Structures are given as structure tokens and as C-alpha cells.
Structure 1
Amino acid sequence: MFLQSLQFSLSVTLPTILMLLLGIVLRRRRMLDDHFCHVASKLVFNIALPALLFINIVKQPADYSSQIWLVGAGFLSTFIIYFSSEWLAIRYIRDKSYRGIFVQGIFRGNSGILGLALCINAYGAMATVPASVYTACITLLFNVLAVITLTNSLSTGKLSLPRMVKSLMTNPLIIGIVLGLIVSKFDIPLPRSILRTGDYLANIALPIALICAGASLDFKQLKRFKNNQENQTQANSIVWWASFGRLIVSPLLTIFIGKFILNLDPMPLGILFLMSSTPVASASYAMVRNFGGDATASANIIAVTMLGYMFTSSFGIFILKQLQWI
């Protein structure tokens, strides 16, 4: 049982870790640079990843209402983590501009890329539909909560509901999933050439995304902050506490809710853990920079959680497999 659990854990996390390491090596050998990663990431986010979600949903029709408990567990845990983080930020973080960075660093996981990759590694094609539905719903929630917390923390203006709705409706991942659901629901026939093209795009989505994620990971960003000593100490503290919340607190709470409150079956519980154990989404850095916040602090949280997740997710999968929960 021990060896089976260890083998399962490695089979799930090792492929993604190796792809991330490949990206790091290629960057060090100067076969990849910032320009390539920027362009390739745009290609993945806007075209390849939506195609992957669309094709998986179209080719594997399912009863999407059966995913309501999986999605419900994700929503419930995210809301608890979000409001708890907001309370902690207001109570303990004196500099208001760092509160949104801290909160987003805890609740916003990288479900769209790393989460999907882990789920497919763990359960194969049968996990793509529930994982895709979960990703669509949780991505909506992440974007809404991120806009709210960063606006409250970094903006002097008020929340713009039309702007938020437009941002969500133009999100390529959400568009790909919604189109896939429509085609699947109404059994709309698609030409073989369209499906083949979608397969080509889908097949490059996760490998390129993981390589670029590794190539973009710069641990030199874990540097001193160019502020006064008090702000530097606070920023460093926020990075480490947010990383602890993302890698330890979030998965533990999510598993507790999924297992003991909603009593999920093994595969949905496994998907829930794999999604919640991911590092902070890279989009959090872009949003903080766009809002005029401390982008270095946000980048440091991404770097720490990306490194830490390689160990925490593997260990978590091993323990859950030993308990026969997943």
C-alpha cells in the first residue's frame, strides 16, 4: 500500500514538475527568453487552453449537474478562505496597499493550468470534464474576488460592475467552456477538420504552459524590497504568510469540507485537492501590477508557492492515497 501510494503520488506530480524544470533549464541555456514566454503564454491563454477545454467537453458529454457538489465545495472553501484572509489583513496588515496582495495570494490558485494538468495526470481523460467545469466556475469566482480585494486595497475609486462583467464575459477560458457546454448540450455536429484542429491546439496547451511557467520562474525575485525597513519587513512577512496559507491552509480546509461536510466520492475529492494545492495563479502578478501595487511582493509569493507546491502537493497526494480517500 505504501509503495502504491508513493507511485501514485509521483505519477501525478512528477510530470508537471519535470516540465517546469525543463522550462528552467531551457531558460538558463538561453533557448527561451522573456519575449518567447510572453507570446507563448498569450497563445496558450487565449487559444490553446480554451481549445483544450472546449474539445474535452465536446468529446466527453457528461451530466454536468452531477458536478454541483464538487463546485460547491470549491466555492464554499474559497469564500471561507477569502473572508478569513480579508479579516486577517484588516486586523494585522497596517499598510492597506498590501492587504489585497496578501488576500489574493491565499485564495487564488493556478487551477487553469497546473490544476488541470495534475487532474489529467491523476485520473486521465475521465477527469477532464469535471475538472473543466470546476475550472470554469472557480475562475469566475477568482476573478470577481480578485477585482474586489485589489480595488478595496489599491484603488481609490469604486468597483465598476459593468467593467467586471465585461472582463468575465471576455475571459477566453470561460468562453471556451461555455461554447463547449452549448455544443455538447444541443448535440451540435462539428466538421472533422474543426475537431482535428482543436485537437492540435489542445495537445500543445499544457506542455507549453508548463514550460513557460518554469522559464518565467525567477528565484532572484526573492530579493529585498526597495522600501524603508518597516515596509520591507512587512512585505517579507506577507510573502511567507500568504504562501503558508496557499500551500497548507487552503488544501487542508478544502479537503475537510469535501470529505466531512459534503462527503465527496474519491475522484471528486482528489480533483478538489489537486486544484486547491496549486501555487498562486500567475495572473495575480499582472493584476497587482495593473492596479499599481507592489508587483515584487506578488511575484515573490508566486515564486515561493511554485517551489513549495512541488513538495506539499506530492506529500498531500501520498497521505490521501494512504488514507484511501482519493
Structure 2
Amino acid sequence: MQHVFFSSLSFSISVMLPILLMLALGLFFRKSLLIDDKFCEKATNLVFKITLPTLLFLNIFKNPIENIAKQWTSVAVCLVGTLTLFILAQLFAVKFIPEKREWGTFVQGVYRSNNGILGLALCLNAYGSIAFMPAAIYTSVSVLLYNLLGVITLTYSLSDGKINLYQMVKNVLKNPLIIGIILGIITSVLDLELPKLVLTTANYLANITLPLALICTGASIDLRNLVKTSHVSLLASIGRVVIAPIFMVFLGKAFGLSKVDLGIVFLMTATPLAAATYAMVRAMGGNEVTVANIIGLTTFGSMFGSAIGIITLRTVGWI
């Protein structure tokens, strides 16, 4: 049992530690005056409008959309679970978080995990090539849903008065992340082929997304707030690291998922808040310090949460 624990902990650290180091580099660069807030603002804008949409497009483009039907149970768990967490987090925010402008950040902190990068890496490391297709499908569906809900909750929380439904729909349709996903779906459905030159250039852009987003996120982390932590950051982090994985595992069990599929759902949900959330929150005018602190807290917490979860689920024979 002790060997299983340390093996699982080592595995989690090997995936999460590089993320923590990138956040630390961002903080160091900011303290050393190598980068400043103006740089972070422009770099985040680049990530949000160009490199991240390109990454999302490529993720869907490389995974044929027709394979979704073969994984309908896992897709159903993703849709039902994410929507339920979104609704519950929104209700909680309205009742217990007095600052309305923090609602959207809190809600995303609870339901939105880092599936596109860390979740996929965890699944492949845990199960090998057998997990690639179901994990890729789960990622494609969840990323689309995460971004749709993200635009909705941020538009709602950052509005000054009554919600303009037309404005909300407009924000969704013009969101660069949504556009990237839709273009990926179209090219996948039509089975279009892109020139090698275009794909190579797109891969160059996509590859700078995570490091650039993490450096800017790290530069925005307020260590005093991270140590003391605001109630919004702490509550969202508990929801992301503890409540969301437990809820999704029991939901997956209720849907009768196989051990591998249930393991994929857990590993996807046990990841920290996606770094892409920082780019979205900042670009739409939210509190970037709060979201940066949530990313820092959940990245650290998920190292231990994923290890404990793996040990527990293996012990009871669920994965």
C-alpha cells in the first residue's frame, strides 16, 4: 500500500511539477522586472485570440468527430456532470459570494479542469495508448462546453445591470476559443486536409500557448493572497480539487462506466483549473489575481488529490 501511494504521488508530481515551475518562473520574471503588467496584458491577448484557439482547433482537427458516438456514455457523463457542477457553483456563488464580479471566476474554478493538456497527459501515462481515443473525445467535448459556459458565466457576472441575451449570444459567437473549436468541428466533419505548411505553422503557434499562459499567470499571482488566500480562491480550489472529482466519479459509476473510462473521468476532473481560464478572465475584464491564485492553489493541491484518488479508487476496485 505504501509503495502504491508513493508511486502514485511520484507520478502526479512528475506531471504537475513542471506547471508549478513555470508559474514560479513567471513570478520570478515579474519580480526581476524582466516582464511587467503591460507585457502580460499583450501576451495574454495573444494567447486568447490566436494561440489558444489554434491549439483547440488542432485538438479537434486531429480527432475525427464521428468517434464521439462510440463513447456516448462517457460523453453523457461529461455533459451531465459539467452542467450540474456549473449550475450548483452558480447558485452557490449568488448566495455566498458578495462580490458579483467574482462569480464567473469562482464558477469556472469549480467546473473547469485542465483536460486539453494535463488531463490527456495523465490518462496516457496511466493507461497508455488504449486511453488515447476515449480521452481525446472526452477532451474535445469538455473543452467546447467549458468555453461556452465560461463566456456565459463571465458575461453574467461582469454585467452592470440586466442581462442582455443578445449580447451574451454575441459574446459566445465572437469568442476566439469558440471560433477555433467550431472551425475544428467543421474541418473534421468535412474531412478537409490542410497543407503541411499551414499545419506546421499552426503547431508552432499552438506550442507556445501553455508556457506563455503559465508565465503570465505566474506573474499575476499575489503571494500574500496565495498564502492568506481570499475566500473566493479557497472555496473555488476546494470545489475543483475535492468536490468536482468525487462528484464526477460517483456520476460515472452511476452511468456504469468501465474501469478505464471511469479512470479517465477521474483523471480528467482531478486536474487543476485550466490556464486558459486566466486568459479568458483577463481578456473579458475579470479579476486576474483571483484566477491566477486559484490556478496556483489547484495545481499544488491536485498533485496530492490525484494521488489519493488513484489509491482510493484502486483499493475499492473501481479503476
TM over 0.5: yes
Contact 2:23 2:296 in 1 (8 A): no
Corresponding residue number in structure 1 for 2:86: 82
1:163 pairs, out of 154, 167, 185, with: 167
How far off its partner does 1:253 sit? 0.5
5 Å-filtered alignment, 1:181-196, equals: 181-196=185-200
Contact 2:47 2:279 in 1 (8 A): no
Residues 1:266 and 1:139: Cα distance change in structure 2 (over 3 Å):
farther
Residue 147 of structure 2 corresponds to residue 139 of structure 1: yes
Residues 1:46 and 1:320: Cα distance change in structure 2 (over 3 Å):
farther
5 Å-filtered alignment, 1:66-105, equals: 66-89=70-93, 92=96, 102-105=106-109
Contact 2:26 2:214 in 1 (8 A): no
How far off its partner does 1:192 sit? 1.9
Q: Which amino acid aligns with 1:134?
A: S
How far off its partner does 1:308 sit? 2.0
Contact 1:2 1:322 in 2 (8 A): no
More moved, 20-29 vs 284-293: 284-293
Q: Which amino acid aligns with 2:209?
A: A
CA distance in 2, matches of 1:203, 1:77: 30
Residues 1:188 and 1:172: Cα distance change in structure 2 (over 3 Å):
same
How far off its partner does 1:18 sit? 1.7
Contact 2:241 2:272 in 1 (8 A): yes
Contact 2:102 2:287 in 1 (8 A): yes
How far off its partner does 1:31 sit? 8.1
5 Å-filtered alignment, 1:141-220, equals: 141-148=149-156, 150=157, 155-220=159-224
CA distance in 2, matches of 1:289, 1:181: 27
Corresponding residue number in structure 2 for 1:33: 35
CA distance in 1, matches of 2:189, 2:287: 44
Corresponding residue number in structure 2 for 1:313: 306
Contact 2:48 2:280 in 1 (8 A): no
Secondary structure at the counterpart of residue 208 of structure 2: helix
Secondary structure at the counterpart of residue 181 of structure 1: helix
5 Å-filtered alignment, 1:287-306, equals: 300-306=293-299
CA distance in 2, matches of 1:58, 1:290: 26
How far off its partner does 1:248 sit? 0.8
More moved, 286-295 vs 190-199: 286-295
Residues 1:223 and 1:292: Cα distance change in structure 2 (over 3 Å):
farther
How far off its partner does 1:162 sit? 1.9
Corresponding residue number in structure 2 for 1:227: none
How far off its partner does 1:116 sit? 5.0
2:271 pairs, out of 269, 278, 281, with: 278
1:56 pairs, out of 59, 63, 68, with: 59
Corresponding residue number in structure 2 for 1:228: none
Corresponding residue number in structure 2 for 1:231: none
For residues 235-279 of structure 1, give each alpha carbon's deviation from its aligned partner in whole angstroms, at most 9, with x where no partner exists: 944443332222211110011101x22122344433432332233
CA distance in 2, matches of 1:322, 1:37: 44
Equivalenced residues, count:
311
Residues 1:90 and 1:67: Cα distance change in structure 2 (over 3 Å):
same
Residues 1:147 and 1:113: Cα distance change in structure 2 (over 3 Å):
farther
Q: Runs of 5+ in structure 1 lacking a partner?
A: 225-234
- RMSD of aligned alpha carbons: 3.8
Residues 1:10 and 1:263: Cα distance change in structure 2 (over 3 Å):
farther
How far off its partner does 1:182 sit? 1.7
Q: Runs of 5+ in structure 2 lacking a partner?
A: none
CA distance in 2, matches of 1:245, 1:19: 20
Q: Which amino acid aligns with 2:45?
A: K
Residue 234 of structure 2 corresponds to residue 240 of structure 1: yes
Secondary structure at the counterpart of residue 63 of structure 1: helix
Contact 2:5 2:307 in 1 (8 A): no
1:261 pairs, out of 238, 254, 274, with: 254
Contact 1:74 1:138 in 2 (8 A): no
Contact 1:120 1:128 in 2 (8 A): no
1:44 pairs, out of 31, 47, 51, with: 47
CA distance in 1, matches of 2:101, 2:27: 33
